[in-house]
Amino acid sequence: MSTQEVLDAIPHRDPFLFIDDILSLSCKKIECTRKISGKEDFFKGHYPGNPVMPGVILCETIFQAGAILISRIINEEITGTPVVTRVNDIKFKNMVKPGDNLNIEVELTEKITNVYFLKGKIKRENKTCVQLNFACTMIKGEM
């Protein structure tokens, strides 16, 4: 899928958009990519001389892939914004550095009314960098 389809699915924009392309998408799973150029603003301070992608940005990358999946599941039946309401079992296993190509996978594990329970992970070169479980709730209107 194209970058435009990513932009159509979620409200995030540069410099806070961390999904480049969607490789595959089903009713329960999404696989996306992100090329880490090293020019991202957060590398200026994290850390000079030894740039490492912050863990919170890695988590956000997974959340954005989950938001795209949810937007496709609801298929415009429901308007609103998916908001992360729970994060569990985070495991950071490998660092992400400039030049890395990331593979982001998110899977829907359960849906209860307007709450979506998901699990996600980021890999580079077939090595897991981070994995976590999270929940999103659809929020209607202004927060």
Residues forming the active site: 46
Q: Where are the alpha helices (DSSP H) in 2-95?
A: 3-9, 55-74
Distances 99 to 1, 20, 27, 77 between C-alpha atoms, Å = 22, 14, 31, 39
Residue 112 to residue 110: CA distance in whole angstroms: 7
